[in-house]
Structures are given as C-alpha cells and as structure tokens.
Amino acid sequence: MAKKKKEADMNLYYINHGQASKTIDDEKIKRKKAKEREKRIKENKVEKEENFDLETETVIQMTNRNKIKKEEERKRKISQEEKRRRKRNKKIKFLLKTFLLLAIIIGGITFALVSPIFNIKDIQVANQNQVNVETIISLSELKTEENIFRFSKNKTANKIEENPYIKSAKIHRKFPSTVKIEVEEREHYYSADFLGKYAYLDKQGYILEIGEENKEKTILQGIKTPEDQVVEGNRLNEEDLEKLEDVIKIMNATKEYNLNDKVKSIDISNKNEYSIYLEEEKKKVYLGDNTNLSNKMLYANAIIEEEKGKAGEIFANGDLNQKFRVYFKESLNV
C-alpha cells in the first residue's frame, strides 16, 4: 500500500510539474541503471583489489627470491673463503711436515756419514772359488774404517767385474759395519792353443787367463781370433764363437758315452771337418760337420770298444743318411 501510495504521489508530482510523460517505468529504468552502475563500480573495485593482491604477491615473491639468492651468494662466498682457508692451512701444514722431514733426513745422513758406528769393520766375500778373497777385496778398493755409506755399490761391483773370472758381483751393506761381496765366477772349460801358450776359455768364449800350462782342460786347436785380440777379458771373434757352439754339442755327444773326460783336444780349424783326439785311447775321431753327432759318436764308441788298445783313426765324417759306414784305420807308426 505504501508503494502504491508513493507511485501515486510521484504521478501527482509529475502532473503538477507538467511532466505527465514520465511514467513509473522510467523511474524503474533509472533505478535499474543505478543498480547496474553500483554493481560495475563494485566489480571494478573487487577487480582492482584482486589485481593489487596479485601484484603485491608477485613483488613479495620476487623480494623473497632476491633474499634467498643473496643468502645463497653469501653462503657461497663464506664456503669459498672457508675452502681457501683450509687449503692455506693444509699447505702450511704440508710445508711444515716436509721441512721437518727434510731436517730429520739431513740430520740422519750427517750423523751416518760422520759417526764411527758406521765405519767398515768387516769385509766378507761369498761364492768365490777361482779368485781368492784378497784379490776380490783389493779390486773393490774397500777399506776398513772407511764409512760404510761413502762408496757406490755399482761402481764397486764394476771394479770387481774387471777380473775376467768374475761374471758378476753384488755388494750388500750389513749395518752397522759389515760389507758383503757376492760373486758369480766364470768357469774354465777349454784352453785355446795359442802361440805356444794357452788361452783359458769359458763356455761363452771369454778369455779368462793366458797361461803357460793347460791345466788338464780340453784344448781347442785352430782358433781364428787375431793375436792382438787374444787378451784377458776379451771374447773370441764371431767365427770362433760359432764354432764354440759346435764344440759344446760335440762334448755333449761324447758325454752320452762317457768319453768327454777322455777328449784331449778338438780341432776347429774347419767347421766342416771337426775332429777330436782321445789321448787315453790313442785314437783320433773325424766327425765332419755338426750333423748327426750323437749317431756318429755311437758308431765311434763301438769301434773304440772293439779296437781297445789300438792306436789309429776313426772316420765318422760321412753322411750317415746316405748309408756311410763308420770305419777304423789303425796306425802302424805307433
């Protein structure tokens, strides 16, 4: 009723003021527009508030990220500085330890070089047979009461090895005051007949000594090594060394039949005409070259047993593969 009354009053107002064309619908439209305007204002306000909140949040997040980044940078710098500090401390400790170690080493070396505790009191020689102890010690040039550290082991060994009979020498320090010399000797196996003398040889062709007597070793006749090269400590030349390999094969073949100790001499003048002389049997055996040595000695040994006590020559220098027959020729001049 109040509403209708208000509308009636409004109509009366419009009539009284000459605005009869305005109706209640116009008023409704105005009110609707007013409400819509208020709604838009309100929505714009909410939208602005939301945008403001979003921007504020973005700013806050950026600020937080910057803070975090700065904090991480600060921690990184602290960590790097800590690492540098630790590295410096480690280097200083290493240098101190190194200096201390060097000081200890230098002090120890100085003490070892001057202390009479390390003076040589005893020089021992082991494994020598053909070279006497005094000769080896003399070659070493070591002396008692000399400091045990004041010589080179390699140089001392080289001095000892200058003796042809010494194949190798090893020096051992036995603290505090003993030096031990271990030697490996070359062994005299053959004697080379040379200008009325004998060059004593080992199996490798080293000339160990020049002597007037043979010392009951197998004599090699017909060596080709030049006179000026037949010197103690030298080796035979290449041609003779090749023949020496055949000599070893010949001696191994004679050993199969227990004849090796009876071989007085071996003629190596011609590698195609080797021969051996058995002084006890008074027989010379012609072997030819270095082939079939074992079979040749087999037949020669049979003849030696069959012709016991007879002087002569055994010819085993043919090709056994071609049905060569080993034969004996007795010497009539004995």
Residues 92 and 25 in one domain: yes
Residues 196 and 325 in one domain: yes
| The model's pTM | 0.67
Q: How many CB atoms lie within 10 A of CB 101?
A: 10
Residues 215 and 180 in one domain: no
Per-residue pLDDT tens for 91-134?
888 888 888 888 788 877 776 677 889 999 999 999 999 999 99
Using a 10 angstrom Cβ sphere, with 0-12 exposed, 13-18 middle and 19 or more buried, the burial of residue 102 is exposed
Q: Which among 196, 265, 263, 268 is positioned nearest to 230, based on CA atoms?
A: 196
Which residues are paired to 185 by β-bridges? 166
The reported pLDDT for the residue numbered 20 is 46
Residues 300 and 257 in one domain: yes
Residues 57 and 177 in one domain: no
End-to-end CA distance of the chain: give it in Å, rounded. 184
Whether residue 201 contacts residue 191, with contact meaning beta carbons closer than 8 Å, is answered with yes
Domain that holds residue 250: 190-330
Residues 198 and 155 in one domain: no
Residues 207 and 304 in one domain: yes
Q: Which two tokens stand for residue 39?
A: 């709604």
> Which of 52, 81, 112 is where one domain is finished?
112
> Which of 146, 161, 185 is where one domain is finished?
185
Residues 10 and 106 in one domain: yes
The reported pLDDT for the residue numbered 43 is 67
Residues 60 and 133 in one domain: no
63: pLDDT strictly greater than 90? no
Confidence of residue 333 (pLDDT cuts 50, 70, 90): low
For residue 15, what are the CA distances in angstroms to 9, 25, 27, 29, 31?
10, 16, 15, 20, 21
User: Over the chain, what is the mean pLDDT?
Assistant: 86
> Which of 131, 166, 185 is where one domain is finished?
185
Task: State the average pLDDT over residues 21-25.
Answer: 55
Total of domains in the chain: 3
